Amino acid sequence: MKKKLAFLPFVLLLTLVVTACGVKKVPVSSIISGEIRNQAGRSFEVSYSDEETRAMSNYMMEGRFLHNGKTLYGSRHDESGTPYLCRMKFTAGEKGMYVRETEPLKSHTDAKYLNLIGDYLYYLQTDCLTGETAIARVVAAEGSGAEPEILYTGPCDFLNVRGGRLYFTDASNHLLSMASDGSDLQTVLSDKEIYYPWFLSDDLLLFQDDADGESLHMRYFPTGFELRVASGRVCCFVVRDSELWIARAEDAGSERCRLCRLDLNTFLSGFDPTARPDASFQFRTEESAEAIGPLFSINGSHINASNYRMAELEDWRGLSDDAWQNGFKAACQYVSKDFEIFYDYNDEGLITDMLFYEPAVKRSGFIEIYRYS
């Protein structure tokens, strides 16, 4: 996330504004089963499954890994700390699983925002030798021997997949889209700089707005209307069921955040995309008592935050640094229904281990499945 900070009031000011509607309309196929429905043109509903919440959580953690049930795709690091993209195969072990073998796919490559479409693994890569970024794809099957294919070159970020199309931001932080073979490049949103764009439906887009202090905004594409969902700098946001969970920076110059919860269906019931340009309203959110780190993920009934242990989501109001940390320094990188991946670091900040944990809160503490050094 960017480093800007702004004053953050307890009340989230939700302001409906008209934006310049110079956006080329691009069909966006929703992938969420609990799709937001427009009822009589005024009301919306949203409901995310656990799998959809995990997908959004992993996107907020830069999509560093992807598990298809048999193979784990992601990055390992050599002795110097340089990453390389690889496939990792699992096999049953004494504690449930362990990595049987690693097949390198691309050396000196920092890969993120991994996605699978058909036979291909898509990802956004940074060349560790040149620093250049690109969007690439490679045949996902084990032992294919295929070389990665570059689909887009140049500064880019926040790669995601919707309806078989690739969505990402360019050097100007504008939202683009292209077909899965790299053709049909289109501009989706070009009137402002945005970060972490996430489609709630065909018509609704959540994103960080650079011009508004990286606050959280929602755009309704058919009319170009835009809604400020959360004022101040929003560091992370994840939908669970009908709830929008938000980490907002606590004060200027701080990376410590308050965890906030907003009921989307209650919020969207007051969202009228045909309202007057000056229409506005206020919405009071629930907020945690203490500050946490800037990033978090939700997996079923528990939550992980930056460098903190997992905790029951129902206890979120009382979570704090002291309550979460307890000497645990590893950082969560990926959540799934079968396991969670954390990175462990040495005193020099280099990654030393990948830690695999059971995806549940145990009264006896973390249950380590496997340590991959």
**Tell me: the pLDDT tens digits for 218-264?**
888 888 888 888 888 898 999 999 999 998 887 756 677 888 888 88
**pLDDT tens readout for residues 199-224:** 988 888 999 999 888 889 988 888 88
- How many domains is the chain partitioned into structurally? 1
Q: What percent of the chain has pLDDT over 70?
A: 69
Average pLDDT, the chain: 77
Is 267 contained in some domain? Answer: no
pLDDT at 138: 94
Q: What is the arithmetic mean of pLDDT over 158-162?
A: 95
Residue 179: which domain range? Answer: 62-199
Is 157 contained in some domain? Answer: yes
Q: Is 273 strand, coil or helix?
A: coil
**pLDDT tens readout for residues 55-101:** 999 999 999 999 988 889 998 888 788 899 999 887 666 656 666 77
Is 333 contained in some domain? Answer: no
pLDDT at 367: 57
On the CB side of 178, CA atoms within 13 Å amount to 17
Integer Cα distance of 321 and 197 in angstroms: 29
H or E stretch covering 66:
strand 66-67
Q: Which of 191-200, 251-260, 264-273, 332-341 has maximum average pLDDT?
A: 191-200
Q: What is the arithmetic mean of pLDDT over 266-277?
A: 60
pLDDT at 68: 87
Is 72 contained in some domain? Answer: yes
Is 295 contained in some domain? Answer: no
**CATH number reported for the structural domain that contains residue 91 in this entry:** 2.130.10.120
Judge contact between 351 and 110, C-beta under 8 A: no
Range with lowest mean pLDDT among 5-14, 85-94, 180-189, 331-340: 5-14
Is 8 contained in some domain? Answer: no
Is 66 contained in some domain? Answer: yes
Q: Is 323 strand, coil or helix?
A: helix
Cβ neighbours for 65, distance < 8 A, ≥ 6 positions apart: 58, 72, 73, 74, 75, 114, 333, 334, 341
Is 240 contained in some domain? Answer: no
CA-nearest of 71, 51, 70 to 59 is 51
pLDDT at 255: 73
